[in-house]
Structure 1
């Protein structure tokens, strides 16, 4: 059974390797200032950004999930965007990702959100197997315009 709990200020050393693993998986790099700001937002109770870690039986952090509540023009209340989900590659397929999604779902329900939604890259077939089992694939395609370098 995977133990999942909200991030605390003492978790930065547990969180950072998983965060770096997530960025590496998507072949992304971020300036150190962005990672530092992300961490500060995650532990600030005034922010709409939340995070949790999954731990194995030995107490080692093996997964992370980060989500954001925001307003929507399609509902009276907020919606929940599951922004980041990462599980140690050596432990995938053992239910940790599913448990992290369920954790976000429970928090979204508790906070009155009307839905939880997320994105994944079209090449991430492993994740899509899980996502297709726990959620509806909407068919929407993401477009974006970058505003800053």
Structure 2
């Protein structure tokens, strides 16, 4: 059975393996300083994080989320920014458990909704997302600042 645990400073090495797998999945590269700053924000509470652990206690997945003010509600929205389950642990319920953890946390903290983005080509994950959430039909645009 998958267990979800809050991310702590002691989890750094297990988190880093998952984080690197996540970046590799999205063919992204981050410098070491950004990775270090990300982990620091996760454990100091600026951004929230949790790990999925298998029966042996091994970290098999991660989730990161944050809240932000919104113009369409008097409360916050919860943005699930990163979700990753190691390839060998996919299909174990870890992804669903991580999403449920964030959903429950957001609800308990008064967020009006939880939302996230994914790549159109991420068909495996989208199969799960279609079961646990509503696809909004919105299209994501961005401007990168140098």
Instruction: Calculate the TM-score normalised by the size of structure 1.
Output: 0.96
Pair 1:112 & 2:110 matched? yes
| Pairing 1:6-85 to 2, within 5 Å after superposition | 6-45=6-45, 47=46, 49-85=47-83
Cα distance in 1, alignment partners of residues 6 and 109 from structure 2: 15
Cα distance in 1, alignment partners of residues 112 and 76 from structure 2: 6
Cα distance in 2, alignment partners of residues 147 and 75 from structure 1: 28
- Counting matched residue pairs gives 146
SS of equivalent to 2:57: coil
Cα distance in 2, alignment partners of residues 69 and 41 from structure 1: 14
Instruction: Calculate the TM-score normalised by the size of structure 2.
Output: 0.98
Cα distance in 1, alignment partners of residues 111 and 136 from structure 2: 18
